[in-house]
Amino acid sequence: MAVFEVLNPSRPLAAVIFDMDGLMFDTERLGWRLLNQAGAEFGYGPLSMEQYTHAVGKTVEGTRKILSAICEGDAATYSAIEARFWELDRDYVKRMGPPKKSGLVDLLKLLQEREIPCALASSTRTDRVDEHLEAAGVRDYFREIVGGDQAPASKPAPDIFLLAAERLGQAPQRCLVLEDSFAGVQAGRSADMFVIMVPDILQPTPQIRAQANLVVDSLSEVAELIKTARLSFSPK
């Protein structure tokens, strides 16, 4: 694995910034299923997974522009479908909690034990981020939370990651970003951060793979890199 860049003493890692949907939680597949359930209640056929994936990593506004294709761009109808989707989503999260990705809790515990500060930077609105973290029982692992409604521009712009680094009190060059989406990888790289991609629905294209510093299969693999000192973090 090409992790030698992390070991460069002029750029020691000091903090970790997580994405949420698709990285921590398997919410992309859940969202696709619930959106189509909501659309069906209004008499509209399913949105393909390919169409849905174009919205991955976008803000609510960006998602709305893309997913309104479910009703041929009818804004009023899509607003009703979207409202029903959020009802279904909140009900699911309240009853079941967001489906956690394999290795998530172990990685968070490891970072906590090593006293490595963590932030979460998601395109999702802050109130929804808080709901998911509380329902999953992982809120206390994060020192800072930055939702998509707090950043001037959404991914692939670097704004949300830069804001997270600022709140952590760390230079961007010393932050590790964990991402699953293409837009997230591009945002992390634009922020001049070290980026590890953990693919979810979409596998990286050659162009995205070239932008990520490292591509791994799971969060468990990230934890193993830390345990074996192949990802270095500066002391407190």
Question: What gap in Å lies between CA 232 and CA 106, rounded to an integer?
Answer: 18
DSSP string, 12-28: -B-EEEE--BTTTB-HH
Question: What gap in Å lies between CA 115 and CA 87, rounded to an integer?
Answer: 37
Average pLDDT, whole number, for the chain? 89
> Which residues lie across from 178 on neighbouring strands?
18, 196
What mean pLDDT is predicted for residues 125-154? 93
Q: Measured between alpha carbons, how far apart are the two ends of the chain, in Å?
A: 27
- CB-count burial class (<10 Å; 0-12, 13-18, 19+) for 51: middle
Q: Given CA atoms 198, 202, 206, 212 in this order, what sign does their dihedral have?
A: negative
Name 219's Cβ contacts closer than 8 Å, sequence gap at least 6: 23, 24, 101, 102, 103, 104, 106, 107, 178, 198
Question: What gap in Å lies between CA 124 and CA 55, rounded to an integer?
Answer: 12
Chain segment 17-76, per-residue pLDDT in tens: 999 999 999 988 898 999 999 999 999 888 888 888 877 666 667 778 888 888 887 888
Q: Does residue 229 register a pLDDT over 50? A: yes
Q: How far is CA 83 from the centre of its chain?
A: 22
Question: What gap in Å lies between CA 122 and CA 146, rounded to an integer?
Answer: 6
Chain segment 77-122, per-residue pLDDT in tens: 888 998 999 899 989 988 989 999 999 999 999 999 999 999 999 9
Given this model, what pLDDT does residue 28 score? 84
Q: Give the pLDDT band of residue 191 (cuts 50, 70, 90).
A: very high
Question: What gap in Å lies between CA 167 and CA 127, rounded to an integer?
Answer: 18
pTM of the model: 0.86
Given this model, what pLDDT does residue 2 score? 42
